[in-house]
Amino acid sequence: MNLSCSLWQDNSLSVKYFMFAKFSEVKEQCFLLFTLILLMFLSSLTGNALIALAIWTNSVLHTPMYFFLANLSLLEIGYTCSVIPKMLQSLVSETRGISREGCATQMFFFIFFAISECCLLAAMAFDRYMAICSPLHYATRMSRGVCAQLAVISWGVGCMVGLGQTNYIFSLNFCGPCEIDHFFCDLPPILALACGDTSHNEAAVFVVAILCISSPFLLIIASYGRILAAVLIMPSPEGRRKALSTCSSHLLVVTLFYGSGSITYLRPKASHSPGIDKLLSLFYTVVTSMLNPIIYSLRNKEVKAALQRTLGKKKVLTHG
């Protein structure tokens, strides 16, 4: 199959295949980048899979906080798998093409997992707020049913936004050029290939980005504002330290995820640069997913102990 910039006729002329831009003309640089990204990708998959497995197999971690953490790990796995395999192929292969349908599928899953993670991080902040500010009612208000509903809502919102945005973008005609100045089918570089004036489309995508990124973020800020107020009036220094330590890992993950995402999607169009955008995208698709398991395992004794038990069981089964 020819994956060149072919055109097809269907009421109007439109691009049938897209091509990802080359990272570099120097093969050695591409191979080095391939190796680094592959190692980070494998580290991310292994770390997130181990955390999810440790939580599901250790009953001591069957609490709301760790239920959401397991969901976060699954989202991170899907998030990276929607982008990185195709990027790795483009780095070492001359076949850098992707069909219109394949590009739409990649965009859907990327948006789906990203928006779901935004919502889930807000649910995790709400869980910490209930645990610290309303400890007497925590068990009833954050029951298994409530946690499951929050997780389903997070995944459901991601799915609806992914379907809506993907359908909206790919209802446009793409007249060429067909080269995507990026390493995956992200919204801004795909919109840049659409025919005619796309200012209204860009404004609509921007508004959705603000709603889907800022709304959960504001809920997180509100939750931690109340948490901070509650911590400041705690009489015991040990109680304050314990309360803050349970939130520190989540806050760090939120900062990494929302910081890189906001800089990429919410800054003015005039300040966009393809090179900077690629670096930022690489950071929030690979680096943050790799760092999250490290952050939670290093800063949480219960997760660390569960991982050790899980790995210990695996060793016993292997030798047995």
| CATH, residue 142 | 1.20.1070.10
Which pLDDT value is given to residue 272?
A: 65
Q: Is the residue at 72 inside a domain?
A: yes
Cα 244 to Cα 51, 128, 166, 223, 224, distances in angstroms: 22, 10, 39, 13, 10
Helix 64-81 / helix 288-298 crossing angle, nearest 10 deg: 160
Q: Is the residue at 253 inside a domain?
A: yes
| 247-269 CB burial, b ≥16 within 10 A, e <16 | bebbbebbebbbebbeebbeeee
Spatial contact of 125 and 250, defined as CB atoms under 8 Å apart: yes
Which pLDDT value is given to residue 315?
A: 52
Mean pLDDT of all residues in 142-147: 94
Residue type, 110: F
Q: Is the residue at 8 inside a domain?
A: no
3-class DSSP state of 130: helix
Spatial contact of 33 and 91, defined as CB atoms under 8 Å apart: yes
* Structural domain span for residue 238: 27-308
> Looking at the 3D structure of the chain, how many domains does it have?
1
- For residues 88, 89, 93, 94, the Cα torsion angle rounded to the nearest 10 degrees is -110
Whether the predicted pLDDT of 259 surpasses 50: yes
Whether the predicted pLDDT of 24 surpasses 60: yes
Which pLDDT value is given to residue 218?
A: 92
Q: Is the residue at 259 inside a domain?
A: yes
The answer to which of 62-66, 280-284, 310-314 has the lowest mean pLDDT is: 310-314
Whether the predicted pLDDT of 7 surpasses 50: no
Mean pLDDT of all residues in 54-70: 88
Residue type, 66: Y
Distance CA 173, CA 234 (A): 59
Cross-strand partners of 20: 180
Please report where in the chains the tokens 């911590």 appear, as a residue. 231
3-class DSSP state of 143: coil
CB-count exposure of residue 4 (10 Å: 0-12, 13-18, 19+):
exposed
Q: Is the residue at 2 inside a domain?
A: no
Whether the predicted pLDDT of 216 surpasses 50: yes
Distance CA 154, CA 282 (A): 24
The answer to which of 52-56, 103-107, 176-180, 300-304 has the lowest mean pLDDT is: 300-304
Whether the predicted pLDDT of 4 surpasses 50: no
Q: Is the residue at 140 inside a domain?
A: yes
Distance CA 96, CA 4 (A): 9
Q: Is the residue at 317 inside a domain?
A: no
Report pTM. 0.86
Percent of the chain residues past pLDDT 90, beyond the cut? 31
Q: Is the residue at 212 inside a domain?
A: yes
